[in-house]
Amino acid sequence: MKAGVVVFPGSNCDHDCFYVLNKIFNIDTVFLWHKDRNLNNVDLIVLPGGFSFGDYLRCGAIANLSPIMNSVVDFAGKGGYVLGICNGFQILTESGLLPGFLMMNSSLNFICKDVYVKIMNNSLPFTKNYQKKEVTNIPIAHKDGNYYAGTSIYKSLKNNNQIIFQYCDVNGIITEGSNPNGSIGNIAGIVNIKGNVLGMMPHPERLADNVLGGREAYPLFQSIIDFLDGEV
């Protein structure tokens, strides 16, 4: 398989994602510049974290206007797999590939710390190497991670098992106190109705290598790689 990491002006986790895919998992990985339209025949696209275009207007709003996003939307529409992390999640909501939007944290502060998240759906290519309701520890680093969706969209996300990650405590209990940013329903990550586009605020690339202190997020990358290796 082959993976592509999109690079926008202001991306700062692009090399981290590249390292995990290329060096940890030995996947053929390329950078995709935001002004290009050619996806170089990749099987997986990663929209990394960072501050695309300085987070002017709304986070991800300007990045969504980059030429590469026309290709990403087309790729996803044809069933291609897309992972958006932090700012990448924001871009996915701006593009309409995922419902809802990300607002400023309820604390109005930038938050950078490890958090506990519960795996709510392990039937997807992105999560099949996790156990359902498994609790894992993944870092967050954002100021605009407060996910919101209207009542009808929120009900639809729940009814269709599109809520993939929820913030919780160490015991897996989902509480107001374990919600770092005010997200509705403690949502940390969602998937589209087809299950091929995943957006998440936590940074799995920051905890997929023992040199960084742990591999709690290793199963996420292994899951999608195993799936796509079987498809290619």
Asked if the model's pLDDT at residue 206 lies above 90, the reply is: yes
Q: And the tokens for 44?
A: 């997986």
Q: What is the mean pLDDT of residues 181-210?
A: 97
Q: And the tokens for 193?
A: 């109705």
Asked if the model's pLDDT at residue 106 lies above 60, the reply is: yes
Q: Are 12 and 50 in contact (CB under 8 A)?
A: yes
Which one from 94, 168, 205, 216 is the annotated catalytic residue? Answer: 205
Backbone angles phi, psi at 106, to 5 degrees: -60, -25
pLDDT for 56 equals 84
Which one from 13, 17, 59, 86 is the annotated catalytic residue? Answer: 86
pLDDT for 71 equals 98
Asked if the model's pLDDT at residue 232 lies above 80, the reply is: no
pLDDT for 161 equals 97
For residue 148, which amino acid is it?
Y
Q: Each residue of 122-151: pLDDT tens digit?
A: 999 999 999 999 999 999 999 999 999 999
203 flagged as catalytic: yes
Residue with tokens 């996910």: 147
Structural domains of the chain, ranges and CATH numbers in brackets: 2-231 (3.40.50.880)
Determine the Cα–Cα distance for residues 55 and 144; give it in Å rounded to an integer. Answer: 10
Determine the Cα–Cα distance for residues 67 and 72; give it in Å rounded to an integer. Answer: 9
pLDDT for 231 equals 67
Asked if the model's pLDDT at residue 77 lies above 80, the reply is: yes
Helix, strand or coil, per DSSP, at residue 62:
coil
Q: What is the mean pLDDT of residues 8-32?
A: 97
For residue 58, which amino acid is it?
R
Q: And the tokens for 180?
A: 């770092």
Q: What is the mean pLDDT of residues 35-57?
A: 95
Determine the Cα–Cα distance for residues 22 and 150; give it in Å rounded to an integer. Answer: 38
205 flagged as catalytic: yes
Q: And the tokens for 222?
A: 């292994």
Q: What is the mean pLDDT of residues 75-80?
A: 98
Determine the Cα–Cα distance for residues 140 and 164; give it in Å rounded to an integer. Answer: 16
